[in-house]
Amino acid sequence: MSIAENLKFLRKKAGYTQEQFAKKLGIKRSLVGAYEEGRAEPRLQNLSKISKVLNVTVDGLIVGDQITLKSIKFQKEKIKILPITMDKQENENIELIHQKASAGYLNGFSDPEFISELPKFQLPMLAKNATYRAFEIEGDSMLPLTPGSIVVGKYIDSVTDIKNGKTYVLITLNEGIVYKRIFNYLNDRDKLYLVSDNQAYSAYEIAPEDVEEIWEARAFISIDFPDPEASEEISIDKLTDIVLDIQKNVIGLKDELKGKR
């Protein structure tokens, strides 16, 4: 693969126009065009600048086949392959892991061929500078999301980036694929604390080394529309409990004051 083809592909992948890329390098736009059309080759100084801006080695720019490698990303800590797919416009697809494919995904999440055979779609409202995957959830542990709902997750490449109280899809060694609200206690206890929104399910801990992939929940798709009446009942119940607690506290304070008198 030529420098021209690699440069054009990587420049577009990084989201730069020729004009923007030229300004980053401190050269004329016409020179970028000449590089990409193969009418000129960048000198060593410009090659070095290009490699830094595009986050690729000079060798990779000159002799690597960057277009073939477009479906590979890397996780920081485990240096594992994250295969992805792209549409004809070189936009990343969102691959769907439905319930029947869940078991296969646990074994095939690093297999480009397996990933390429999954159903794919696009959600234009999501940011373009991230990788997304969709998971069909099972069970009722995360109500009000009902079984069969699809959670779209943004790829997170380190357990240290997990934020307390946010929901994530985790691919784990021992628990399989789980969708939970997670609390990060890595600094204190070297554990992640997984909590269900449905309080009928108990929370539990897992070790960070048990986590294979992390997907931060960014959207969900469901054929079950929210029930306003059910939501209102829940809110009223919660408010009732709060009011009862306040009343108990007030009564307790009054009793204390009477005792002091």
Angle at alpha carbon of residue 69, lines to 168 and 133, rounded to 5°: 20
pLDDT tens sequence across 27-43: 998 899 888 888 888 88
pLDDT tens sequence across 80-122: 567 888 888 888 999 999 988 888 898 888 788 888 899 999 9
pLDDT score, position 6 = 83
pLDDT tens sequence across 229-259: 554 444 545 555 655 666 666 666 656 666 6
pLDDT tens sequence across 127-156: 888 899 999 999 999 988 999 999 999 999
Indicate the pLDDT class of residue 74, thresholds 50, 70 and 90.
very low
Q: Where are the domains of the chain?
A: 3-66, 74-221, 228-261
Mean of the per-residue pLDDT values of the chain: 82
Indicate the pLDDT class of residue 221, thresholds 50, 70 and 90.
very high
CATH topology agreement for domains 3-66 and 74-221: no
pLDDT tens sequence across 155-188: 998 888 999 999 999 999 889 999 999 999 888 8
pLDDT score, position 64 = 58
- CATH code for the structural domain at 74-221: 2.10.109.10
pLDDT of 203 strictly over 80: yes
pLDDT score, position 70 = 47
pLDDT of 49 strictly over 70: yes
pLDDT score, position 82 = 78
pLDDT score, position 224 = 86
pLDDT score, position 254 = 59
Q: Domain 3-66 maps to which CATH number in 3.40.50.10070, 1.10.260.40, 1.10.490.10, 1.10.1740.10?
A: 1.10.260.40
Mean pLDDT of 223-229: 73
Mean pLDDT of 67-72: 48
